[in-house]
Amino acid sequence: MEENLKNKKILFILQRDWAIKHGFEIIKKLKENGALVSAIAFKKSIESYINFQKDVSFEKILEESYIEQNSIEIINKNNYDSKKFLEDFRLKSIWEFIHTLRGKATSYKNKFPFSYNQNLNDEELKNYILAFGCSLVELYKSFKPDLVIFYNYGDIRHHLIAQLSNINKIPFFFANDTKVKNISAFFYDLNCENSFFQNQIENFLNKKKEPKYLNKSIEYLTENRKKIQTPMNIKDVNLNINLFNFKDEKNLIKTIFRKIKVKNDILDESERISLFRIIKNYIDKKKNIIDMKFYKFDKLENIENFVFLPLQHEPEAMLGICNPVFDNQFETAKILARNLPNNYSLVVKNHPFKYFFRSKKYLNKFKNCPNIKVIDHKIPNELVYKKMKCLISFSGTSIFETAILKKPAIQIGNLKSMKYLPNIFYLERLQEIDKIIYKIESNFEKYINSYEYDEKLHYYISAAYETGFYFNKYEDDYRHNKESLEYMWNKYLEEIQKIF
């Protein structure tokens, strides 16, 4: 038994399939080592699983579905209001991150894949968040956690958990990508600015420690400068889907049967749609696939002197929670295109993951906007990087890839996980893009040939290998892969030992 876990109170946030295939198996290990565990469940099927399983006894369970169905009752019973909420969570507004609530502040009911029309009205949204906040405060008072473990930092509910944890000086962590292929790490704040991964980079930069994986980082850099490795999240993505592929038809039939058989309150937000919408989504996807096959993209070979903005997949946590000001990609692109200096054009490219989510109409908004070019999603990013003058990104792997290729990258938004990369510049006001570009043009070419540039990259990559873990092991189903379970259990132990 790990003595440092005995009687430690750990709050686990259980969501998505990860809850059962990963989270629950780690919870069993925590319990075996004497920890006391409570859970917040974000999915009805997870709630049912928790209630019917016999392996783990939880101290407390907060069920999101109960809050959703009894918001007004919870608020009235506890005499809880907006003023109390803002005091409890030290927030300036209840509305700041409400837009991140998928299926509540957005809707799956009238557009494929979703629309920004709110599914709940303002009063319903407000009541839901107040009830969630009130329930969360009560849970923290009664359970008094020593540590909180997330799957990701996805929406306002995670932000409330983080806020309450910070106020009560309770550490929390969640997994996030380091951008080094197949390596993730645990992070401790909304903007991914605090982690042992970044602490280790600082140790290297300040010469307090020597990197253990320097040779491996040199090999990684050499290999990727020959050819950029495909990121794990898109390595199996089909960029040219056939119109009829049987997989879509099988999913359609499965979705219809599930809609007929399963009660609405058991279904996920995205599944609580009409049979008409299910069939219409299928048709819309097929239409988008056809439209993309015949879309008149701008030719990369005909574009010179440009800045590249790869579009993010939506809905995307990093767009909503880390970019509350710049979450509208079209409006962001439009403002950037107006303010680019030196006759630069702005080139955009659809995200390859589920590219069929976006319609011809959506891409035409960019294409018909002055000084914006739209290139084919099938073009490898590496070809674009080598021709572009500069990258602009919200948070993606592209920033790390361009660092390898010694190309400058401008990041929009608050994410700080890549702050130690040597090619990164931060843009706080879109209309000041010209100032950043002038700065890059003045200094960057000299800097990329310096010893310091590659040294920073080596430190970044080495720190990821030293403090991180394999993403494919993290995503495994631990019910069936005990080797991955033991690997990640040891990673959790290492992280928890650093805290306690």
Written as one letter, the residue type at 321 is: I
Between CA 374 and CA 296 the distance in angstroms is 9
Written as one letter, the residue type at 323 is: N
Confidence of residue 270 (pLDDT cuts 50, 70, 90): confident
Confidence of residue 342 (pLDDT cuts 50, 70, 90): confident
Confidence of residue 244 (pLDDT cuts 50, 70, 90): confident
pLDDT in tens, 31-78: 999 999 999 999 888 998 998 999 999 999 999 999 999 999 999 999
DSSP 246: S
pLDDT in tens, 378-401: 999 999 999 999 999 988 899 999
268 in helix, strand or coil? coil
Alpha helices in 156-272 (DSSP H): 156-167, 196-205, 214-226, 247-261
- Work out the number of other CB atoms within 10 angstroms of the CB of residue 55: 9
pLDDT given at position 250: 93
| Domain architecture of the chain: domains with CATH | 3-91+120-178+468-499 (3.40.50.1380), 247-293 (no CATH), 295-462 (3.40.50.2000)
Q: Which residue is it, tokens 């400068």?
A: 225
Residue 315 has pLDDT above 70, yes or no: no
Q: Per-residue DSSP letters for 21-69?
A: IIIHHHHHHHHHTT-EEEEEE-SHHHHHHHHH--S---S-EEEHHHHHH
Confidence of residue 316 (pLDDT cuts 50, 70, 90): low
Between CA 438 and CA 498 the distance in angstroms is 43
Between CA 38 and CA 25 the distance in angstroms is 14
Confidence of residue 1 (pLDDT cuts 50, 70, 90): low
pLDDT given at position 314: 80
Rounded (to 5) percent helix, strand, coil in the chain: 50, 10, 40
CA distances from 116 to 58, 268, 287, 412 (A): 37, 18, 21, 21
> Smallest Cα–Cα separation from 312: which of 364, 359, 350?
350
Between CA 289 and CA 86 the distance in angstroms is 46
Q: Is the pTM of this model over 0.75?
A: yes
Residue 357 structure tokens: 């989510």
Q: Looking only at Cα atoms, what is the longest distance across the chain?
A: 66
